[in-house]
Structure 1
Amino acid sequence: MTGEVRQDEMVQQAIRNLFLGSVPERDDELSSLWGHLDLVFRFLPDDHEDGRLIMDAGSYRYIRFNHRVVRSFWIGAFAAWEGSRAVAESKDFPAVDLTRFQELVAAFETAVQNDQSDEAPLPTGVPEPGTLPDKDRDPQGRAASELSIIAVAWALLHEVRHIRHQREGTSASVHGDTREARQHEEFSCDEFATRFILEHAQRYSDESGYDPVLVRRKREMSIYFALFALTLLAKDSWAASDTHPSVQDRIDAVCGLMGNDRDELAEAIAHTAFATLRTLWPSAPMIVAGERSCVS
């Protein structure tokens, strides 16, 4: 997608819809947050001079993102789902067919590397970002799509917390903009996004009548899938940097936030997805199911 930077009402409404579709029980809080921070979301083209992958926050109100990032999270969620599905449905564990998983990871890398992220068609069976397949005809595609949408919401909520840090005077720059301060802020933003999605899941269950266990499981899986997409995006750069903690440390911190009562099935699915990724990238970060510390 080429063109100018967009921040029109259509873009703002699309993000509102994304948040409301992910955490509908927090409608009032989202409206308050939006108004208090005077948030403006800017949609940038894939060929922007500031880089290929753009998702950041600055100037006390602007959150920028591009199609490449959204498409990456979308494909990443489908890859995570496929990795866990391939193992779960395999009758011969040592000989799991990972052809489809490898195809999706390759599609992810293509979207990142091409001049335009949508230059190459998505693999067969993967709809365009934002499209929800019919849940009866394609239940797995529908599940991956819904998980991807909440994963993107998690990533954008992370950026919202950066804006709040700036407004509150608690951003890394206030603390000397040191490596430690910048990394601390990243942990803080991950925490905000995680808690915002999980804290009132019970309220949504009460209001909607949906099983609270299933609601919590879906949201935890979405956050794991967001971390899976981050792992793909950070390929070969998983170690700590001057601006960010290591990907493994971020994963461990988010697992800790979910607590010892986090959903075991969601954790097992995430573990399988990450373990499958390690068949391609042996040094990739990891989630170990069954260990309450959630470390590799």
Structure 2
Amino acid sequence: MTGEFRQDEIVQEAIRNLFLGSVPERAEDLTSLWEQLDPTFQILPDVHKDGRIIMDAGIYHVVRFNHRVVRSFWIGAFAAWEGYRAVAESEDFPKVDLTRLRELVTAFEAAIQNDQSDEVPLPTGVPEPGTLPDEDGDPQGRAAAELSIIAVGWALLHEVRHIQHQQEGTSASVYDDTREARHREEFSCDEFATRFILDQVQRYSDENGDDPVIVRRKREMAIYFALFTLTLLAKDSWEVSDTHPSVQDRIDAVCRLMGNDRDETAQAVTYAAFVTLRALWPSAPMIVVGDRST
């Protein structure tokens, strides 16, 4: 049914656990945020009157998404990792084998186009969303899966910031405010999600004894993979619109937020992913290694 949705406590707990698993050091901040905003997360069906791809926020406390979006972020992370793997393991860059990447992109597009996003089985080697491959038996699959989870967290935090704007009275109305105001809000939401995931890395490392460089690298990669998935979702609609900045401008803005000292390994991995995507889609947005502030 197109009008059905779920917002029971199981859904709310699952989202809280996703955030806590992605940024455990922010537990107190998350509690405060929840007390302040009282957000409600709704899962909508894949076939809905409001569209096929649903991830939005409204009426001051509701964040909506559907299974199709979650599945898209999952496949998108595996596709990004595959782009990197294909380059890293190739002995001849001009002859990189992109067969597997094409298969994953095809699976991504099928998840978008089919009435039910899980209508077609995922490619061999890609588990169902939420299933973490064995770290020893499939370390690359495990990496892609973990990055996907944090990437979804980034996307949902973006929507939480929209709720915050609405409650603060600083939200840009689609009907009344200017295009520039709506774009500023989108950049603000990307910034909030990015900073929330990255700003307390040192605290996490101090509490868990992990190398902060490695922790930040993983989180930067997850944010890049979220942007990679947004690129896939926005195929042929990458340019600026009345409601959103261009995908390229959003990528550039997030990279600037990370600063000139953003992790080189995370940049290299993501650069390979975007380069291989451009081999399939030549006009796709791109991540630029280094500073793009000028």
Q: TM-score, normalised by structure 1?
A: 0.97
Q: Classify 1:73/1:189 alpha carbon distance in 2 versus 1 (closer, same or farther; 3 Å).
A: same
Deviation at 1:268, TM superposition (A): 0.8
Deviations 1:79-109 (A, max 9, x none): 0000001000111222111100110001000
What letter matches 1:128 in structure 2? E
Q: Is the 8 Å Cα contact of residues 56 and 159 (structure 2) preserved in structure 1?
A: yes
Deviation at 1:175, TM superposition (A): 10
| Structure-2 residue corresponding to 1:124 | 124
Which residues of structure 1 form unaligned runs of 5+? none
What letter matches 1:179 in structure 2? R
Q: Classify 1:175/1:181 alpha carbon distance in 2 versus 1 (closer, same or farther; 3 Å).
A: farther
| Structure-1 residue corresponding to 2:89 | 89
Q: Classify 1:233/1:211 alpha carbon distance in 2 versus 1 (closer, same or farther; 3 Å).
A: same
Deviation at 1:132, TM superposition (A): 0.7
| Structure-1 residue corresponding to 2:155 | 155
Q: Is the 8 Å Cα contact of residues 287 and 294 (structure 1) preserved in structure 2?
A: no
Deviation at 1:176, TM superposition (A): 3.6
Partner SS, residue 173 of structure 1: coil
| Structure-1 residue corresponding to 2:74 | 74
What letter matches 2:162 in structure 1? H
Q: Percent identity?
A: 78
| Structure-2 residue corresponding to 1:292 | 291
Q: Is the 8 Å Cα contact of residues 255 and 294 (structure 1) preserved in structure 2?
A: no
Q: Is the 8 Å Cα contact of residues 174 and 243 (structure 2) preserved in structure 1?
A: no
CA distance in 2, matches of 1:294, 1:8: 44
Deviation at 1:2, TM superposition (A): 8.1
Deviations 1:16-35 (A, max 9, x none): 11000000000011011012
CA distance in 2, matches of 1:10, 1:226: 25
Deviation at 1:173, TM superposition (A): 2.4
Tell me the matched-pair count.
294
Q: Is the 8 Å Cα contact of residues 205 and 215 (structure 2) preserved in structure 1?
A: yes
Q: Is the 8 Å Cα contact of residues 174 and 182 (structure 2) preserved in structure 1?
A: no
CA distance in 1, matches of 2:207, 2:156: 25
Mapping for residues 96-115 of structure 1, pairs under 5 Å? 96-115=96-115
Q: List 4+ stretches of structure 1 deviating above 3 A.
A: none
CA distance in 1, matches of 2:3, 2:71: 17
Deviation at 1:4, TM superposition (A): 2.6
| Structure-2 residue corresponding to 1:34 | 34
| Structure-1 residue corresponding to 2:146 | 146
Mapping for residues 129-278 of structure 1, pairs under 5 Å? 129-173=129-173, 176-278=176-278
CA distance in 2, matches of 1:42, 1:170: 23
CA distance in 2, matches of 1:218, 1:3: 38
Q: Once superposed, what is the RMSD of the aligned Cα atoms?
A: 1.5
What letter matches 1:292 in structure 2? D
Partner SS, residue 97 of structure 2: coil
Q: Classify 1:255/1:109 alpha carbon distance in 2 versus 1 (closer, same or farther; 3 Å).
A: same
Deviations 1:2-60 (A, max 9, x none): 88300000000110110000000000110110121011000000011111000000000
CA distance in 1, matches of 2:39, 2:178: 26
CA distance in 1, matches of 2:81, 2:259: 23
The worse-fitting range, judged by mean Cα deviation, of 238-247 and 92-101 is 92-101
Q: Is the 8 Å Cα contact of residues 2 and 49 (structure 2) preserved in structure 1?
A: no
Instruction: Note if 1:65 corresponds to 2:49.
Output: no
Which residues of structure 2 form unaligned runs of 5+? none
Q: Classify 1:175/1:105 alpha carbon distance in 2 versus 1 (closer, same or farther; 3 Å).
A: closer
CA distance in 2, matches of 1:233, 1:59: 25
CA distance in 1, matches of 2:176, 2:144: 41
